[in-house]
Amino acid sequence: MSNVQRVTKVHCLLATACISMLAGCTVGPNYHKPAVATAPAFEEPHVEASAQAQSDIAWSNWWTVFSDPVLNNLEDQAADANRDIKIAVAQVDESGAMARVAHSYQLPTIGADPSISRTREAQYRPNNGNTYGLASTYNDLLLPLTLSYEIDAWGKIRRMVQSANAMKQASDADLRFVQLSVSASVAVDYYSLRQTDAQLAIFDETVNALQQGYQIVDNQFQHGLVSELDVKQAETLLNQVRSQRDALHIQRDQLEHAIAELLGRTPEGFHIAVDTRLQAPPTIPAGVPSQLLERRPDIVASERSMASASAQIGVAKAAYFPQLSLTGFAGYESANPGAILDWQNTIASLGAGVVAPIFTGGRIRAKVDNARAAYQVSVSQYEKTVLTAYQQVEDQLAALRFLANQEHDSASAVASARDQQRISLNRYNAGLVSYLNVIYAEQTLLDNEQLEAQVSGQRLIATVVLVKALGGGWEGRPSGQVSSHLDATQTTPAISDAKAR
């Protein structure tokens, strides 16, 4: 081996070593998930995972713990056809494609640039043998492959890949949050509709009872046994209850329409059969506050967005340093197409370039400041999302605790109101009191029965909202859960039905 060859080999090794060292340099901060203070337990008392609690709530179909086949069917339809879910799926595909785009910058770009031309040059053209050459006409056929490659000396591309991967993970979590929101909306509207069914059944029974009472009073008036005032009082209450029932019918139809929209359907031809039963809600274990950071998809999405914003600081900082690139081509060139593939007609070129910023008017610094500010925004947004999650869980735990007490108290009030109605009707029939006492007792009974149905429905709705606040199900989650850190290099069948009079 000659001295020239040794020197050339040493230079190549040194250049390779320098490129490797530069490639290992990554500017910008390495991401670390910020610590969030969590309480050891929720403020509101709740049921821990036990034999009585539904602790094995499925990740993909949490609503099955309510043991309602109609709800199960509605949820399955929504999962297949809801437009918000379809939009979120498309956004996941979009972010996945952008992540692949970022990955592609880690590889060289190779392309083909063939061309063919025919040229005639003048005899007395410049530099043609001191003007004594001849005019010429020739063909030029090029078959080259081009190459361009940016050396990731400062980690700009690696930070871009990290940012794109984190955004892809955030989109995955956003999709899960949309699915959870849609399924919770279906369940809330469904149990609101069931609550309306129970209230309508109470109104129907009340209207029937008041209609019978009105007929009795009117007959008594026709025989001169009571005054017209009693008739008008009975008629007024009857019409008032009918009006309230009509308003509930509007509410039921609107709930059906809302559910149809969530299922990706038009309201025409969509109906849910009436069912006045309001079952007791399942018991949901809240767990400990720290579990929210893993369960709630909106928290995961916010944390991944924060990781992406952190990587963007490195992308912005890399602009301070020179951009190193390799360009080259290799192929064939010939004036004779028949000899284009001859070895003597091969051509090749390889070059390296450096572009370094000297004066940018503060543009690079402004972009770095912008990236840092965006990261701080994402940190505050993450903290806000966590605090909101804690609040929502505490709200529903408090609601369920007091709704259980309220349901017991309202059931007692209904029993007392029913006794009051019976006593007042007996006293009226005995001629001891006016019909106004009966009207007052009927109105009191109706109000308390309506309240009891509302409380039973609200317990079911609050349970659904609690499941959503806890992040949906937590058993059987997909194995590829989002990492918390970004690598620096890469039911009880009790029935509360409308009470018979």
User: Are 468 and 180 spatial neighbours (Cβ–Cβ below 8 Å)?
Assistant: yes
- Least confident among 181-195, 391-405, 410-424, 486-500: 486-500
Residues 287 and 413 in one domain: yes
488 assigned to some structural domain: no
Burial class of residue 314 (count of CB atoms within 10 Å of its CB; 0-12, 13-18, 19+): buried
- The DSSP line for 268-293 is TT---------BPPPP-----GGGHH
Question: How far, CA to CA in Å, does 364 sit from each of 29, 82, 303, 373, 400?
Answer: 17, 44, 26, 14, 54
Residues 253 and 118 in one domain: no
Q: Is a pLDDT exceeding 90 seen at residue 494? A: no
Closest CA to 417 of 438, 452, 445: 445
Residues 202 and 342 in one domain: no
Q: How much is the pLDDT for 374?
A: 97
Q: How much is the pLDDT for 284?
A: 87
User: Are 474 and 64 spatial neighbours (Cβ–Cβ below 8 Å)?
Assistant: no
* Residues 419-442, mean pLDDT to the nearest whole number: 89
- The 3-class SS string of 99-160 reads HHHHHHCCCCEEEECCEEEEEEECCCCCCCCCCCCCCEEEEEEEEEEEEEEEECCCCHHHHH
13 assigned to some structural domain: no
Residues 89 and 136 in one domain: no
Residue 26 has, within 13 A of its CA and on its CB side, a CA count of 19
* Residues 373-385, mean pLDDT to the nearest whole number: 95
Per-residue pLDDT of 307-363, as tens digits, reads 999 999 999 999 999 999 999 999 998 888 888 888 888 999 999 999 999 999 999
Q: Is a pLDDT exceeding 70 seen at residue 50? A: no
Residues 259 and 387 in one domain: yes
User: Are 330 and 346 spatial neighbours (Cβ–Cβ below 8 Å)?
Assistant: yes
Residues 239 and 368 in one domain: yes
User: Are 85 and 179 spatial neighbours (Cβ–Cβ below 8 Å)?
Assistant: yes
- Least confident among 7-16, 281-290, 463-472, 484-493: 484-493
Residues 167 and 311 in one domain: yes
Res. 477 pLDDT band, cuts 50 70 90 = low
Q: How much is the pLDDT for 480?
A: 44
Q: How much is the pLDDT for 157?
A: 94
| CATH number for 85 | 1.20.1600.10
487 assigned to some structural domain: no
Res. 489 pLDDT band, cuts 50 70 90 = very low
Q: Is a pLDDT exceeding 70 seen at residue 21? A: no
Give CA–CA dist 334/340, Å, rounded. Answer: 5
Q: Is a pLDDT exceeding 90 seen at residue 271? A: yes
387 assigned to some structural domain: yes
Residues 386 and 285 in one domain: yes
* Tally of structural domains, the chain: 2
Q: Is a pLDDT exceeding 80 seen at residue 168? A: yes
Q: How much is the pLDDT for 428?
A: 87
Torsion of CA 8, 11, 12, 13, to 10 degrees: 120
Residues 119 and 203 in one domain: no
114 assigned to some structural domain: yes
18 assigned to some structural domain: no
Q: How much is the pLDDT for 499?
A: 32
Q: How much is the pLDDT for 24?
A: 55
Q: How much is the pLDDT for 434?
A: 84
**459: which 2 tokens?**
């317990």
| CATH number for 132 | 2.20.200.10
Q: Which residue has the higher pLDDT, 491 or 309?
A: 309
Per-residue pLDDT of 204-240, as tens digits, reads 999 998 998 899 889 989 988 888 998 998 999 999 9
Give the domain extent around 344: 110-151+322-355
**Average pLDDT of the chain, as a whole number:** 86
- The DSSP line for 180-226 is HHHHHHHHHHHHHHHHHHHHHHHHHHHHHHHHHHHHHHHHHHHTTSS
Residues 223 and 346 in one domain: no
Q: Which residue has the higher pLDDT, 300 or 53?
A: 300
Res. 485 pLDDT band, cuts 50 70 90 = very low
Amino acid at 7: V
481 assigned to some structural domain: no
Closest CA to 149 of 176, 110, 93: 110
Residues 334 and 434 in one domain: no
User: Are 62 and 264 spatial neighbours (Cβ–Cβ below 8 Å)?
Assistant: no
3 assigned to some structural domain: no
Q: How much is the pLDDT for 134?
A: 78
Q: How much is the pLDDT for 49?
A: 40
Q: Is a pLDDT exceeding 70 seen at residue 161? A: yes
Give CA–CA dist 453/213, Å, rounded. Answer: 24
Q: Is a pLDDT exceeding 70 seen at residue 300? A: yes
Amino acid at 437: N
Residues 332 and 307 in one domain: no
Last residue of a domain, one of 309, 332, 355: 355
Q: Which residue has the higher pLDDT, 95 or 46?
A: 95
Res. 46 pLDDT band, cuts 50 70 90 = low
- Least confident among 37-51, 244-258, 317-331: 37-51
Q: How much is the pLDDT for 41?
A: 82
